[in-house]
Amino acid sequence: MNDAATEQLRVENALHHALKNQEFVLHYQPMIDLRTGRIVSMEALVRWQAKNGELIAPNQFIPIVESTGLINELGVWIFRTACAQVKAWHEQGLHDIKMSINISPVQLRTPELSNIVLRILDEMELAPEALDFEITETVLIQNISLALDQLERLQKRGIGLSIDDFGTGYSSLSYLKRLPVDTVKIDRSFIKEVHRGSHDFSILRAITAMAHELGISILAEGVETEEQLDIVMELGTDLTQGYLFSKPLPAAEATDLLHLDVTAHIDHRFRHNPHSGVAAK
């Protein structure tokens, strides 16, 4: 075997162990409604907490997990864990908070996906409305009509649908055409270097107009600076997510954040936001 194949096998074995030994953890990153300054949802992001203490980011292992059958097993673990967390938040009085869960295109190939999801929700007595699925097309989806049928079925039951990393996928636009999408998350590559008059600025403005024309909410990913926040607010973006507000946090810290009044941190912005429904306090 060549080196690449040996390495792939080594990582695959390690991932098998990781799943058995419960080395995966979920971190949660808030999504903020720019009209109210409130956290409306938490995105569940998987991390691999290796036994040597190292925290490994998903882009380093998800492609391998996807290329093996492991993604279904890991996917179910992520789904159950995230559902249990949002249920716990609801029970702590945070009734309106939603959970956003990334669904791999590989999972969408599984014909049983929607059944599994609905069965687990039933078992856990969690309303489908508490969930939002984020779909990103990093690989071309085989059997797209099966994937779309499953998503449509889940959406009919009340699960929200978002297109993740919008603007980078193979066919983000065809999703908009074929699925009743609730939210479009603009990829952070358009936010990173945006300034007034730039190409990125025009693209953001055009995508926002298109989404609103279609009755879809728009979220700006990867907002890290006050300047970027200014711009996305000026463009009428509905929601945002990024390091300016919070990195993905371990469950305990995410819970603390939800119990705090997050508005305090960004309150001053809303006085200047022409789109804000919140009057200056």
- Residue identified by tokens 């690449």 is 4
Site size with Mn ion, rule: CB under 5 A: 3
Helix (H) or strand (E) holding 85: helix 70-91
State the virtual CA torsion across 231, 234, 238, 242 in degrees, nearest 10. 20
For residue 83, the minimal CB distance to ligand G (Å) is 18
Q: Find all residues with CB under 8 Å of 281, minimum gap 6, and list them.
A: 267
- Cβ proximity to ligand G: between 103 and 147 the closer is 103
For residue 91, the minimal CB distance to ligand G (Å) is 26
Q: Find all residues with CB under 8 Å of 21, minimum gap 6, and list them.
A: 51
Closest chain position to ligand G (CB): 242
For residue 162, the minimal CB distance to Mn ion (Å) is 8
Q: Which stretch binds Mn ion (CB under 5 A): 63-71, 97-105, 173-181, 209-217?
A: 97-105
Give the length of the chain: 281
Q: Is 137 in the site for Mn ion (CB under 5 A)?
A: no
Q: Find all residues with CB under 8 Å of 108, minimum gap 6, and list them.
A: 135, 141, 146, 147, 150, 151
Binding region for ligand G (CB under 6 A):
29, 45, 57, 102, 136, 164-165, 188, 221-222, 224, 241-243, 248
Amino acid at 17: H
**Binding pattern to Mn ion, positions 147-166, x when CB under 5 A?**
-----------------x--
Q: Which does 182 bind (CB under 5 to 8 A by kind): ligand G, Mn ion, none?
A: none
Q: Residue numbers of the site for Mn ion (CB under 5 A)? A: 102, 134, 164
